[in-house]
Amino acid sequence: MPPSSQDTASSVSPEEIARFGALAEQWWNPSGPMRPLHAMNALRIEWACRHLPLQGRHSRKVRVLDIGCGAGLASEALAKAGHDVLGLDASPKGIAAAHAHLEAHPLPTGSGPLAYRVGSAEELVAENRQFDAVVALEIIEHVTDPERFMTMLADLAEPGGVVIVSTMNRTLKSLAVGKIGAEYLLRLLPIGTHEWRKFITPAELGRYARNAGLSIQAIAGMVPSFSGWKESRNLDVNYIAAFRKL
């Protein structure tokens, strides 16, 4: 997950880093504890790619930062789509698993370059790094200060660049489906993966984005179906949003 245990208000806690680090070796198992991410990954990557810039500001390739990349599930998919990707995570175990998977399963010809780094968003901000697009998928609900985290995402985007965030809405339905159902009844996720009170409503996310100098471009719900996850107008549980830096 993005920030390290030494970081401040917007950081993921050491407990969160340890929790997801412990799952690193199972990250790529589509039937393992990350199976909900595997199930929704095609949709969220396809949606994200539709809202990325057509080309990078400084080169033809779009430079994408995948914050909280875990073991690289989204990073690899973005690279396969032809983008120049940096996957960033604070968990050394997660990044080690990402490297191991990439070594065992090299990207096909035509993919964009893919690199991984152990570190935090704060470190990249301090280095004045910027990207054509910043992607933060299923991570903002794990940080201690989501508004400050959105400001960092904006800082890491080039002027005119895109920030894409997917997360979970804080509704009674998400409590029933995304927390109680997924963790306690169906056991799709390890118990304790999410804290419902930290889920973020679209209105809250929009306010954080505006305060960070971002303008919303699109928003969509993500819902499961018999044929896989699909885009929806229903934002009650999972949703994804694209913002442009002003």
CA gap 73, 233 in Å, rounded = 25
CA gap 122, 119 in Å, rounded = 8
> Which pTM does this prediction carry?
0.91
Residue 226 CB contacts under 8 Å (≥ 6 apart), including other chains: none
Q: Is residue 2 part of a domain?
A: no
Section 213-240 average pLDDT: 96
CATH number at residue 153: 3.40.50.150
Q: What percent of the chain has pLDDT over 70?
A: 91
Domain that holds residue 174: 14-245
Is 187 annotated in a binding site? The answer is no
Q: pLDDT tens digits, residue range 33-68?
A: 889 899 999 999 999 999 999 999 988 899 999 999
Q: Is residue 6 part of a domain?
A: no
Q: Is residue 180 part of a domain?
A: yes
Is 89 annotated in a binding site? The answer is yes
Q: What residues form DSSP beta bridges with 240?
A: 166, 220
Q: pLDDT tens digits, residue range 4-24?
A: 333 334 466 788 888 889 889
3 state SS for 14-73: HHHHHHHHCCHHHCCCCCCCCHHHHHHHHHHHHHHHHCCCCCCCCCCCCEEEEECCCCCH
Is 68 annotated in a binding site? The answer is yes
Q: Is residue 7 part of a domain?
A: no
pLDDT (0 to 100) of residue 11: 62
Indicate the SS3 state at residue 161.
strand
Q: Is residue 94 part of a domain?
A: yes
> What total of structural domains would you count in the chain?
1
